[in-house]
Copies of this chain bind each other. A is one copy, B any other.
């Protein structure tokens, strides 16, 4: 046998065993909107500011009280919540089921990568805007602190496999993007359909395998 190969396989198995000991909390994203300050004011009024509804696990991120209607070529979806704070781009994240209902074919993207994504009409209590791009399906991803990433031997931008769910709905999601930042907390982000497919609730555990 090739000793070098055996050594590499054993090292890989050890790494996988180590990673799979660390539970990663699951955070489930319902459809939501991120706003620039300018776009927010256009739909909620010049004097409005987003109001905290619920703090999220990612430090500084929150679900806001503010909700909008998004209108696609086919249907409108009401009560789509803003996630704050403001961003440098306005972005609408929906599930594939939502996209089919709206009549759109958004790409699967990491947040902020909006090239060639479809636009949509966003309506709030004080006005409507038509964004020319910004609708995406969120690419499955894990947020890591640099410390978590170092411990789990993960580099920013790499993709991993994640095992999650329980019993009849146990599922392995492949191609899960790893994002590392001082600003993050360890969390796997899935959309509602991905979470339901695996029978997951917010805060359940997933494992990198």
Interface on A for B, CB 8 Å cutoff? 95-97, 108, 139-140, 167-175, 192-194, 196-199
Contacts and interface: CB of A to CB of B under 8 A. Distances in A.
Contacts of A196: 95-97, 193, 197
A95 B194 CA distance: 12
Contact of A175 (B95, B140, B167, B175): B167
Contact of A197 (B167, B170, B175, B197): B197
Residue among A95, A97, A196 with the most chain B CB within 10 A? Answer: A196
A193 B192 CA distance: 8
Contacts of A96: 196, 199
Contact of A171 (B167, B168, B173): B173
Given A96-B199, A97-B196, 12 more contacts: A97-B97, A97-B193, A108-B199, A139-B168, A167-B175, A168-B175, A170-B174, A171-B172, A171-B173, A193-B196, A193-B197, A197-B197
A115 to B, nearest CB: 15
A9 to B, nearest CB: 14
